[in-house]
Amino acid sequence: MGGCVFEGIRSSVVSKLTDVPKRILIGRALRSDRLGETLLPKRIALPVFASDPLSSVAYAPGEVLLVLSIAGVSAYHFSPWIALAVVVLMFTVVASYRQNVHAYPSGGGDYEVATTNLGAKAGLTVASALLVDYVMTVAVSIASGIENLGSAIPFVVQHKVLCAVVVIVLLTLMNLRGVKESGKLFAIPTYVFVGGVFVMIAWGAFRGLVLGDTMRAPTADYQIKAEHQGLAGFALIFLLLRAFSSGCAALTGVEAISNGVPAFRKPKSKNAATTLSMMGLLAVTMFCGIIALAATTNVRMAENPATDLLKNGNPIGSGYVQNPVISQVAEAVFGKGSFLFVLLAAATALVLFLAANTAYNGFPLLGSILAQDRYLPRQLHTRGDRLAFSNGIVLLAGTATLLVVIYGADSTRLIQLYIVGVFVSFTLSQTGMVRHWNRHLAVEKDQAKRRHMIRSRAINAFGACLTGLVLVVVLVTKFTHGAWVALMGMCIFYATMTAIRKHYDRVAEEIAAPEGPSDDSVRPSRVHSVVLISKIHRPTLRALAYAKLMRSDTLEALTVNVDPAETKALREEWERRGIDVPLKVLDSPYREITRPIIEYVKSLRKESPRDAVSVIIPEYVVGHWYEHLLHNQSALRLKGRLLFTAGVMVTSVPYQLASSEAARNRARRRQEWSAPGAVRRGPAVERPKEPSAAKD
């Protein structure tokens, strides 16, 4: 049969090629019972789960001014009122989610609330919306960060798609190292950014109110060419609603804390609720402060700066790079090139990159829960070496990368797809919470508990009404600007998850064990064993010995004649050795190996449908990756084909060569060994640390 035809190509070739770089990039594997060590204190949980809403203040004010600029500078005086509306919405959502984390601390968040109280379809709608929003969070945050960094480094602007993809890869690697480790890396720049913004607001207020300084942004002397001058009536209302919907980008990521409650230290719900309040207070203070300073320093923004921004009555031209609002305000307050200006600019760019970390924690956890409910592939429910949901992290990174490439890492185009999903989940979640409290109030008799439930229901009801209204505003004002793409993405996720669930349900029904006797539990009439032979060597003799031990009803050796000379030599040696197993030779005029064997096995099944056929394959086991490249994959292909043949069992009989023994010894010498393919299910239950865990 031309050499060692049935020598297997084992999966260890991939493991050996990837194990060393994998350990360098993401670190050594952690034991499942060390999950409790990865839980987060509030000071780390805040940057991990709230980096998205905290960092959104770097671009949300600019989005408000960009929309208002359509009506010219005269519309800018509406910005404080829009900021106030965003603040009211933020506090409402935070108060509502504080009820969620206490009522549903398991980590299902909006998905669990909607599924439990509104049904599976509502839950799946919420899940679809959140998955889209998490992908958008990564794409928008990275694109915005690249644009902020590009104002200082021209290379980044010239190659922003490439740079964005590189940043996504780096974030993915950091998150694959584990939630706690990535949280420590992200905490410092997040706190530097928050501190820098508060210093800017305080210093700007001191200069303006106490010192009486006149602070002017670099665009203060520009004029704006209004697309629609002197808007009034319905047109003005529509413009203000669109500006408000753009400012609502500041609320994205708020729901991530409710999804991440299991990652907090005990008491989980209390710590999550406290983190929510801290996040809301910080976000609205920074948002309002930047809006106020933008108005004070006369920041000018335009959707098409090359033509709509005018200097001395002339368009500023395509060579102009429009810096974000926060950058212009910082230049006016601190002075261009000052230490605090550079520090805040660097922290802003970095925190926008790290804002994607909110999605890197929310998406994999939600994906794990959906996989547990059989709406997504089961692989997403598996924890990786560092106890993070690695498959979900990689899936998120791949989807976000695709989006960044398609939209050219342009945050202005991407942000139009944003916030639709998050307000769908907000609205359905709060509606579900109202039903949750109604159900509990129907049976609760304790008056103190009833008063608490009534107050909580009122908060959630107000939140549902307000977020529902905002959802309508967002859909109306942003649909033609790109929101339809987000809705289409939600529909695709919904249809895909529905199809996956139907598949799993169909398979579960098909393989369910019946109560009475079935064909699968009835013992076969006979077992016909076939040992595949290429030549006579130690693996062959071991496979024959194993086959005899099985005591099958019939036993034969099988070879394929692709080289008459080799087949003749095999027959002669078989007879010379006096092997007491009949040898059957299959002719193969076209030198095929797999097809003649498959056809022969099928013929055995056709002759006796109640018999079982056991195909036994001898294989080498080698220890070096390059040795696998020297052997063909006949056994691998043959196994794959036999798996689709009913009533056929395939058995591999391994024969370990000396190199495999050396590899096994190397594995023993490793300080920590994680077997390839070991399954670490999640979300794992936190267990008390065993005394031996400290030595691992």
Share above pLDDT 70 across residues of the chain, in percent, rounded to a whole number: 79
CA distance 513 to 439: 37
- Give the pLDDT confidence score for residue 695 in this predicted structure: 35
Going by pLDDT thresholds of 50, 70 and 90, the confidence category of residue 513 is low
- Give the pLDDT confidence score for residue 672 in this predicted structure: 43
3-state secondary structure of 18: helix
* Chosen domain end from 625, 640, 656: 656
φ and ψ of 533, to 5 deg:
-125, 135
- Assess whether 267 and 383 both reside in one domain: yes
Contacts of 405 (CB under 8 A, 6+ apart): 161, 165
CA distance 176 to 27: 9
- Assess whether 286 and 383 both reside in one domain: yes
Buried b (16+ CB within 10 A) or exposed e, 538-566: ebbeebbeebeeeebeebbbbbbbbeeeb
Reading the block at residue 503, the tokens are: 């598949």
Q: What is the mean pLDDT of residues 483-492?
A: 85
Pairing of strands 527-532, 680-681: unpaired
Q: Domain range for residue 632?
A: 529-656
What share of residues in the chain are helix, strand, coil (percent, to 5)? 65, 5, 25
By mean pLDDT, which of 79-88, 156-165, 290-299, 437-446 is the weakest? 156-165
CA distance 297 to 329: 7
- Give the pLDDT confidence score for residue 198 in this predicted structure: 93
DSSP-assigned beta bridge partners for residue 681? 382
Using the predicted structure, report yes or no on whether residue 675 has a pLDDT greater than 60. Answer: no
- Give the pLDDT confidence score for residue 694 in this predicted structure: 35
Using the predicted structure, report yes or no on whether residue 241 has a pLDDT greater than 70. Answer: yes
- Give the pLDDT confidence score for residue 13 in this predicted structure: 41
Asked whether the beta carbons of 655 and 619 are under 8 A apart, the reply is: yes
Q: Which residue did the predictor score with more confidence, 668 or 96?
A: 96
Q: ω before 364 within 30° of 0 (cis)?
A: no
Asked whether the beta carbons of 248 and 474 are under 8 A apart, the reply is: yes
In a domain, 679, yes or no: no
Sign of CA dihedral 61, 49, 496, 498: negative
Q: What is the mean pLDDT of residues 305-315?
A: 79
Using the predicted structure, report yes or no on whether residue 617 has a pLDDT greater than 70. Answer: yes
In a domain, 515, yes or no: no
- Give the pLDDT confidence score for residue 514 in this predicted structure: 59
- Give the pLDDT confidence score for residue 202 in this predicted structure: 93
Q: What is the mean pLDDT of residues 396-423?
A: 80
Within 151-224, where are the H helices?
154-158, 160-176, 179-205
- Assess whether 295 and 435 both reside in one domain: yes
- Give the pLDDT confidence score for residue 476 in this predicted structure: 81
In a domain, 522, yes or no: no
Using the predicted structure, report yes or no on whether residue 5 has a pLDDT greater than 50. Answer: no
- Assess whether 133 and 194 both reside in one domain: yes
The pLDDT mean for the chain works out to 78
Asked whether the beta carbons of 613 and 530 are under 8 A apart, the reply is: yes
- Give the pLDDT confidence score for residue 7 in this predicted structure: 37
Using the predicted structure, report yes or no on whether residue 183 has a pLDDT greater than 80. Answer: no
Which pLDDT tens digit goes with each residue over 347-405?
887 887 777 777 887 788 888 888 888 888 877 876 655 456 778 888 898 888 998 88
CA distance 616 to 87: 70
In a domain, 663, yes or no: no
- Give the pLDDT confidence score for residue 644 in this predicted structure: 80
Going by pLDDT thresholds of 50, 70 and 90, the confidence category of residue 308 is confident
- Assess whether 353 and 232 both reside in one domain: yes
Which pLDDT tens digit goes with each residue over 443-479?
888 888 889 889 888 988 988 888 888 888 878 877 7
Going by pLDDT thresholds of 50, 70 and 90, the confidence category of residue 673 is very low
In a domain, 516, yes or no: no
- Assess whether 482 and 556 both reside in one domain: no
- Assess whether 371 and 425 both reside in one domain: yes
- Give the pLDDT confidence score for residue 305 in this predicted structure: 78
In a domain, 401, yes or no: yes
Which pLDDT tens digit goes with each residue over 125-171?
988 988 888 888 888 888 877 876 766 666 776 778 888 888 888 88
In a domain, 574, yes or no: yes
Classify residue 629 as exposed, middle or buried by CB count within 10 Å of its CB (0-12, 13-18, 19+): exposed
* CATH assignment of the domain containing 270: 1.20.1740.10
Ramachandran area for residue 482 (φ above 0: left; ψ -120 to 50: alpha; else beta): left
- Give the pLDDT confidence score for residue 683 in this predicted structure: 39
Reading the block at residue 542, the tokens are: 């071991």
- Assess whether 161 and 296 both reside in one domain: yes
- Assess whether 428 and 574 both reside in one domain: no
Quick one: which of 223, 213, 219, 222 has its CA closest to 333?
Answer: 213
* Chosen domain end from 489, 504, 519: 504
Cα 690 to Cα 20, 31, 694, 695: the distances in Å are 28, 11, 8, 10
Give the neighbor-by-neighbor strand order of the sheet with 554-561: 583-587, 554-561, 527-532, 612-621, 648-656
Quick one: which of 366, 371, 363, 354 has its CA closest to 397?
Answer: 363
Q: Helix crossing, 179-205 with 160-176: angle to 10°?
A: 120
Asked whether the beta carbons of 611 and 525 are under 8 A apart, the reply is: yes
CA distance 475 to 314: 36
In a domain, 347, yes or no: yes
- Give the pLDDT confidence score for residue 380 in this predicted structure: 80
By mean pLDDT, which of 274-288, 377-391, 624-638 is the weakest? 624-638
φ and ψ of 642, to 5 deg:
-70, -25
Can you list the pairs that 208-215 forms with residues at least 24 positions away whose Cβ atoms lie under 8 Å? 208/296, 215/293, 215/296, 215/297, 215/332, 215/333
Highest mean pLDDT among 124-128, 320-324, 415-419: 124-128
Pairing of strands 680-681, 382-383: antiparallel
- Assess whether 393 and 288 both reside in one domain: yes
CA distance 319 to 606: 77
- Give the pLDDT confidence score for residue 3 in this predicted structure: 39
Asked whether the beta carbons of 605 and 649 are under 8 A apart, the reply is: no
Count of domains for the chain: 2
Q: What does pTM read for this prediction?
A: 0.67
Asked whether the beta carbons of 473 and 139 are under 8 A apart, the reply is: no
Quick one: which of 240, 341, 252, 329 has its CA closest to 291?
Answer: 329
- Assess whether 498 and 541 both reside in one domain: no
* CATH assignment of the domain containing 596: 3.40.50
Which pLDDT tens digit goes with each residue over 186-225?
678 888 889 999 999 999 999 888 888 888 888 888 888 7
Using the predicted structure, report yes or no on whether residue 632 has a pLDDT greater than 80. Answer: no
Going by pLDDT thresholds of 50, 70 and 90, the confidence category of residue 662 is low
Sign of CA dihedral 673, 675, 680, 686: negative
- Give the pLDDT confidence score for residue 558 in this predicted structure: 93
Asked whether the beta carbons of 165 and 386 are under 8 A apart, the reply is: no
Contacts of 153 (CB under 8 A, 6+ apart): none
Residues in the chain: 696
- Give the pLDDT confidence score for residue 233 in this predicted structure: 66
- Assess whether 608 and 482 both reside in one domain: no
Going by pLDDT thresholds of 50, 70 and 90, the confidence category of residue 15 is very low
